[in-house]
Amino acid sequence: MTAFPLPLAEIFGHWGSYAVYLVIGIAFGAVLEMAGFGNSRKLAAQFYFKDMTVLKVMFTGIIVAMVLIFGASAVGLLDYNLVWVNPTYLWPGIIGGLIMGAGFIIGGFCPGTSLVAMATLKKDGLFFVLGVLAGIFLFGETVSNIAIFWNSSYMGRFTLPELFGLPTGVVVLLVVLMALVMFWGSEKLEQHFGGKDPRKVPKWRYAAAGVLVAGAFALIFIGQPTFSDRWAAIAEEKDAQLENREKQIHPGELLDSLNDTQLKVIMLDVRDEVDYNLFHILDSRHVPLDELPTIIEELHLEPANALFVTMSNDEQAATEAWKLLEAESIPNAYILEGGINNWIATFGDDDLTKNFNLGAGDDQLCYIFDSAVGSRYAASEPDPHAFGLIYTPKVKMELKRAPSSGGCG
């Protein structure tokens, strides 16, 4: 199974995971200081083309991380679905970037580098941090006045491969080449505006650039894992769970879960629209099987107490939907045992007409409705106290590993 990202809270405990975050934060700050990012003069020189260290260090970090992340994903060491990618709010992001850039020029720091400067007891860093805190407070008190714009042009987890419609490896190569051209241009600017001697620039940077380009080319040929690749990596374990009926939950357990205030139950009805309109469980969401991949990103953002239950008329389509959720690392996914047919048999009226011409495993609705009742039939919202059902509980809520937050250094 995929090893990374690691569930730190599960491995080290609550406080242990915070200790890991602390070590990473200190190491990041130390690297910034060693790069000279605790000096506002050095940072501000970026905007006068005298010292392009900011561009070179940050873009080096970006392209190295990019090649390593997608390389690890390509060989199955990393599940990219579990990596936080900041959602895109296009116009608020552009305006915010311009405001931050102006503040960077005026103050000589960004929020992260100001903390580094403050940690090294620089007065300008301290005052910049105080300004950041004041700005955060003022923004929090006034953001409601611009809420419509603040939440506008939402594009979700939108990345360059999606924007250009290109394979990930091609985009990685293009970004690496773009960065290298920028590095070359920045050195020319430093020589012209900053008077830097090109003979003092280390020669090993050519070898490093070659490694990055080679890595990017390799990604084009390796590619990123498909659904089939991800499922193949976990198929043995998951098929055993299906065979042992560990993931098929009784209608009674689903009903009890729906009435459990500590759970957010998300029912995914993957049948066709005709069957869904004929009858469906109240508050179930109609997502045809072929459209399910389009909402995976949305499902990853559900809270840690989310319980996902796939359902079809029988179990066939619901099982395929469950496999997709498992392959995409959606936690706490289960299948409605026997599907909608079993739900109606458990909670429906005895006078419902049943189609006995259908064979087992056909995944078709066994009951005949005179009209499309949707969720207006009593069985769509059973009274949890009216049935004394006996079943073996199977739901075991797992630790959520999906991305839920991010930040900026």
The 3-class secondary structure across the chain, one letter per residue, is CCCECCCHHHHHHHHHHHHHHHHHHHHHHHHHHHCCCCCHHHHHHHHHCCCCHHHHHHHHHHHHHHHHHHHHHHCCCECHHHCCCCCEEHHHHHHHHHHHHHHHHHHCCCHHHHHHHHHCCCHHHHHHHHHHHHHHHHHHHHHHHHHHHHCCCEEECCCHHHHHCCCHHHHHHHHHHHHHHHHHHHHHHHHHHCCCCHHHCCCHHHHHHHHHHHHHHHHHHHCCCCHHHHHHHHHHHHHHHHHCCCCEECHHHHHHHHCCCCCEEEEEECCCHHHHHHCCCCCCEECCHHHHHHHHHHHHCCCCCEEEEEECCCCHHHHHHHHHHHHCCCCCEEEECCHHHHHHHHHCCCCCEECCCCCCCCCCCCEECCCCCCCCCHHHCCCCCCCCCCCCCCCCCCCCCCCCCCCCC
Q: What is the mean pLDDT of residues 299-321?
A: 94
Check whether 201 has a pLDDT greater than 90: no
* pLDDT per position as a tens digit, 20-47: 999 999 999 999 999 889 999 999 898 8
* pLDDT per position as a tens digit, 155-166: 888 899 989 999
Check whether 271 has a pLDDT greater than 70: yes
Check whether 179 has a pLDDT greater than 90: yes
* pLDDT per position as a tens digit, 391-407: 999 999 986 665 655 55
Check whether 365 has a pLDDT greater than 50: yes
Domain 228-380 in this protein, CATH class: alpha beta
Q: Are strands 264-269 and 306-311 parallel, antiparallel or unpaired?
A: parallel
pTM of model > 0.85: no
Cα–Cα distances in Å, from 66 out to 59, 182, 185, 214, 215?
10, 17, 21, 13, 10
Check whether 199 has a pLDDT greater than 90: no
Per-chain mean pLDDT for the chain: 90
pLDDT of residue 135: 92
| 202 confidence band (pLDDT: 50, 70, 90) | confident
Q: When comparing pLDDT for 122 and 352, which is higher? A: 122
Q: What is the mean pLDDT of residues 123-143?
A: 94
pLDDT of residue 281: 97
Which range, of 60-64, 360-364, 395-399, averages the lowest pLDDT?
A: 360-364
pLDDT of residue 237: 94
pLDDT of residue 409: 47
pLDDT of residue 157: 84
For residue 164, the one-letter residue type is F
Tell me the domain boundaries of the chain: 8-226, 228-380
